[in-house]
Structure 1
C-alpha cells in the first residue's frame, strides 16, 4: 500500500468522524435526542463520546505522514505554529462572532476553550514532539502523561488541603484549575470539557494516533495484525484502568484515552481490511468529506450558529422555523424528527464535500 492509499484510508475514518460530529451537534431540538447521540452526563461512554478523541487520534496519524520527511528546522516549526494559530483563531472566532450588531459577543462571557482551540494546541505540542522524538520516546511520554494525570487527579491534595476527587466538583483538579484560571470563560459554570488541564491527556490521544500512523507507514509489515493487537491492548488496558480511574470525557481521563484510542484503532483496522486488503470500494463519500475536514466542520458550526441566532419572526430562529415547519409532523416521533433534521444537515455537508473533492478544491488550514 503506497502513501496515497494510506492517506485515503485515514481520510475515510476522518470523514466519518466529521459527519458524526455534525450529526450530534445539530439535532432538531436538544430536548428530544436519542441517548446514544448525547454525551455521558459525567462518568461513562456513549458513541458520541468517541467522536472528538477519534479526530485527535486522526490528527496524530496525519502528523506521522505529513512530517515524516520534513526537515527539523525553523521553516517547519513556523508552519506548525501558523497552522496551530489558525485553528485556535477559527475556534475563538466561532465563539466571538454574532450574526447581528454589534457582531461580537461580550468579552466578559466569551468562552476561551473549544474544540478547534484544543485541536490547535494538541496539534502544536504533538507535532513538535514528533519532530524531536523517536517512537519509543513518544510512547514513554504518552504513558507518563496518563500515569501522571491519574496520580495528580487522584492523590495530590488541592492547595487548601482538600482531597481530590474524580467527580464533577470543585475539588477535581481539572475543574479547580479551570475555575480559578478561566472563571466565567467556560462552557459551564463549574467545568469545561475542553479545559486547560484535560488538554494534557488529549495530547496522549494524539500521540496514540502518531504511533498507529507509524504502523501504517512501515513497508513490508503486517499492518492489519499489528493494528488489531494494538487495539486489543488499548481496549483491555483502558477498561481495566477504569476500575481506578473512571472513563470520563469531560476530564479526558487516562482510561478514556486508552479506550477511545483502542476503538479508533480497531475501526481503522476494519476500514483498512475492507478497503486495502479486500479492495472493497467502501466509504468513498466519507473520503470526500475527510479531504476538507476542518473546513467542513468550521462551516457547519458557523452556519449552525447563524441559523440558531438569526430570527425569522419574534418567536423563531431560522433553525427552529425549519425544524418545526418541515420535520415536526404528527406521524413522526419527536426524537425521530430531531434526528431527521440532523441527518439532513449531514447529507448537505457530505454533498458539499463531494463537490469540493470533484472540483479539486482542498482548503488547508
Structure 2
C-alpha cells in the first residue's frame, strides 16, 4: 500500500513492548536505573514510554481524521465520545479489578470508598484515563482547526500550563511534589479516597492538571503523522522532520532551565523534549525501513504488539492481579505469620532470581520473559486475525 508506513507500526509496537518491560520487573527493589523513572526532575528512558504512546495516538489520528471529516460532525462526536468513555471505563475497571482482595486470609470486596477508612478507595486516574482525556481534547482541537491553528493552540496550552504551575503553585517551590498546583485540583474534583497513595504525600502522577500539557503530545504526534503522509516516503520529508525533532528537543532543554523536565507533573518542557525524541526516533525508522528498504524481519516482533496495543497493555495489568488471587503457602515471616505466593511472584523467586547473584539481572530477566509471554499472546491473536479495537 502506497500510504502504508511500516515504521510507524514498529514505533507503536516497540512502545507497547517497552511499556510492558518497565511495568513488570521481577521486584521493584532491584531495577537498573534506565528502567526506572526519574525520582522527580529529569528524564530516563523509562520516562519516554508514556509520551511516546501518546505521540503514537496522534500519529494514528493523522490516518483516521480524514475519514471522520468525510463522515461529518455526528459521526465524529459519536466515535470520539464512545472511545473516550470506553477507555476511561477500562482504566477504572483495571484499577478496581479483580474487585476482591485478601485480608486476614479472607477475600473481601474492594469498595469504591473503604467503609473502614474513608480516606482510601478506588483510584480514578491512571495511564488509560490520561490517554482517554488527551485523545478526546486533541481530537476536538484537530477536527475543528487547521494544522497551523492546532500547533498554535498546542503552544498556548503549554504556556498556559507553565503560568498556572508557577502562579498557583507554592511560592517557595511551585514545581515540587508538595507545591504542585494540581494537587489542590485533584483533591477537590476527584476526592482524597480516589487519588494515588504511592508517594510520601498525597500526589497523583496522572492527575487532571497534567492533561493540559500531555494533550499537546498527541497534537504533535498528529502533526508529524500528517506531515509524513503529505510529503510521502522522501529524503526531504525525513530530514525536515528530523530538524523539527531536534528543534523541539533543544527548546525543551532550554525551557528546562526555568520549568524543569518532569514526567510526574508532565511539564511543558517535558512535552517538547519527549515529542522531539519521538520524532527523531521515527525519523531513523523511516530512513532505515521506508527509504533504505532494509529487511525488517527482526522488527516484526514489535509489529505484533502494535496490532492490539491497548488490549495487550490492559491484559498485562489485569492478568497478574487475577492470578494473584490464586495463592498458596510459601513459609512463614519473621513475625511467625503465614506467607503466601502466587504464579508470577513464584516464577521470579524460583526461576529468575537464582540465575544471578545480581538481583537486578534476575529482575530484568523476569521482565523480558514477561514481554515474551505477552508477545506470544499478541502473536496468537495476529495469526488468527483477531484485532481488539477500542
TM-score (norm: length of structure 1):
0.93
Q: 1:200 matched to which residue of 2? A: 212
Given the alignment, which residue of 184, 207, 224 partners 2:238? 224
1:237 lines up with 2:251 in the alignment: yes
SS at match of 1:43: coil
1:127-151 deviations in whole A, cap 9, x for unaligned?
1211111011100110001111111
Which has the greater radius of gyration? 2
User: Which residues in structure 2 correspond to 1:86-97 (within 5 Å)?
Assistant: 86-97=86-97
Q: 1:357 matched to which residue of 2? A: 382
Q: Is the 8 A contact 1:155 1:163 kept in 2?
A: no
Q: 1:165 matched to which residue of 2? A: 174
Q: What are structure 2's unaligned runs of at least 5 residues? A: 102-106, 114-120, 330-338
C-alpha root-mean-square deviation of aligned residues, in Å?
A: 1.8
User: Which residues in structure 2 correspond to 1:24-39 (within 5 Å)?
Assistant: 24-39=22-37
**CA distance in 2: counterparts of 1:289 and 1:75, whole angstroms:** 28
Q: 1:137 matched to which residue of 2? A: 149
1:280-317 deviations in whole A, cap 9, x for unaligned?
13211111110110111111111122234432324212
The structure-2 alpha-carbon separation of the partners of 1:286 and 1:157, relative to structure 1 and needing over 3 Å to count, comes to closer
Given the alignment, which residue of 161, 168, 193 partners 1:184? 193
1:263 lines up with 2:277 in the alignment: yes
Q: Cα distance, 1:332 vs. partner?
A: 3.9
Q: 1:64 matched to which residue of 2? A: 62
**CA distance in 1: counterparts of 2:18 and 2:82, whole angstroms:** 28
Q: Is the 8 A contact 2:169 2:180 kept in 1?
A: no
Q: What are structure 1's unaligned runs of at least 5 residues? A: none
TM-score (norm: length of structure 2):
0.88
**CA distance in 2: counterparts of 1:25 and 1:343, whole angstroms:** 11
Q: 1:23 matched to which residue of 2? A: 21
Q: 2:335 matched to which residue of 1? A: none
1:224-279 deviations in whole A, cap 9, x for unaligned?
01210111010000000000000000000000000000110000001111110011
Q: Is the 8 A contact 2:355 2:362 kept in 1?
A: no
Q: Cα distance, 1:35 vs. partner?
A: 1.1
Q: 2:361 matched to which residue of 1? A: 336
Q: 2:182 matched to which residue of 1? A: 174
The structure-2 alpha-carbon separation of the partners of 1:181 and 1:299, relative to structure 1 and needing over 3 Å to count, comes to same
Give every structure 1 segment of 4 or more consecutive aligned residues whose post-TM-superposition deviation is greater than 4 Å: 99-104
SS at match of 1:315: strand
**CA distance in 2: counterparts of 1:154 and 1:288, whole angstroms:** 43
Q: Cα distance, 1:112 vs. partner?
A: 0.4
Q: Cα distance, 1:330 vs. partner?
A: 6.1
Deviation larger for 8-17 or 249-258: 8-17
Q: Cα distance, 1:163 vs. partner?
A: 6.0
SS at match of 2:354: coil
SS at match of 1:196: coil
Q: Is the 8 A contact 2:61 2:222 kept in 1?
A: yes
The structure-2 alpha-carbon separation of the partners of 1:215 and 1:104, relative to structure 1 and needing over 3 Å to count, comes to farther
Given the alignment, which residue of 276, 281, 286 partners 2:295? 281
Q: 1:291 matched to which residue of 2? A: 307
1:316 lines up with 2:349 in the alignment: no
**CA distance in 2: counterparts of 1:103 and 1:344, whole angstroms:** 32
Q: 2:332 matched to which residue of 1? A: none
Q: 2:370 matched to which residue of 1? A: 345
What count of residue pairs does the alignment treat as equivalent? 359
**CA distance in 1: counterparts of 2:356 and 2:387, whole angstroms:** 42
Deviation larger for 290-299 or 307-316: 307-316
Q: Is the 8 A contact 2:9 2:306 kept in 1?
A: yes
Q: Is the 8 A contact 1:26 1:304 kept in 2?
A: no
The structure-2 alpha-carbon separation of the partners of 1:168 and 1:331, relative to structure 1 and needing over 3 Å to count, comes to closer
SS at match of 2:328: strand
SS at match of 1:30: coil
1:121 lines up with 2:133 in the alignment: yes
Q: 1:40 matched to which residue of 2? A: 38
SS at match of 1:316: strand
